[in-house]
Amino acid sequence: MKKVLTLSLLALAVTSTAASATSINIRHEWKPEYGDKNEQAHADRIAVSHRFKNGIGFEVEAKYKTNNEDAWGDQSGNGNQANISYRWKINDTFSLTPQFKLEANSDKVGYQSNLTLGYKVTDTISTSIRYRYHYENYKSSLDKANSHYNRITLAAGYSGIEDWKFGLSTDYTIKQEGEEVWNGDKQGISEINSKISYTGFGGGWAPFVEIGVQPADKNMAGDNDKDDWRPRYRVGIVYSY
């Protein structure tokens, strides 16, 4: 599967002669201590993405995590992912982007298909809605049943202040029977995230900060925390050329 995906991406690079945009995204994530068993956690990722002028795009991502409370101590792999997509610009206002994503770690492989409808409200305000279906296939030695979920993401962006960009997104997840998203329900809001980027440095550099919340892990939080939200903080930088 990995070889097939790699060859496909290389073929796209060869057959597409005009490049539109390439980005390198480096990000560090910190989750503070939470509940009875959740110690603070750190994770890092680097992603490289490219979109050709013909609308075809791809991204590859490598992820790492620490196994103690140090920001970069005792690191190990935290999975990887790759995706391929096509952005169809319907007109100056609407765009439609189908995508297929392959995500893997040491325990499972996830297959995800999604479809995003983008709407440009004004030159400085944009919105989007994305639907995705995700299927997870666990390795047989874990003796764990495969699982799946549906997810809808609503997002909005604003760039009306010079050198600044603001974003807000919300995920609503519908899991299969027997699994829980929030407060005993198999469906509900699974993430809220805000993002601020600064583009004033020029040269394609744009540092950013993200603040988000997710439902607490019911197996890790204490009785008083199991239906609360756990905060998450991210800092990073994007280089585009």
> What pLDDT, on a 0 to 100 scale, did the predictor assign at position 2?
47
DSSP string, 92-125: SSEEEEEEEEEEE-SSEEEEEEEEEEEEE-SSSE
User: What tens digit of pLDDT does each residue of 12-68 get?
Assistant: 444 444 456 899 999 999 998 876 666 788 999 999 999 999 999 999 999 998 887
Whether 196 has a pLDDT exceeding 60, the answer reads yes
CA distances from 111 to 15, 148, 187, 188, 229 (A): 26, 9, 20, 22, 27
The reported pTM is: 0.85
How many CA atoms, within 13 angstroms, populate the side-chain half-sphere of residue 117?
Answer: 3
In order of their start, the domains of the chain are 2-240 (2.40.160.40)
CA distances from 78 to 47, 59, 64, 222 (A): 13, 17, 5, 25
Give the β-pairing of 19-31 and 41-52.
antiparallel
User: What tens digit of pLDDT does each residue of 113-159 get?
Assistant: 999 999 999 999 999 999 999 999 999 888 888 999 999 999 999 99
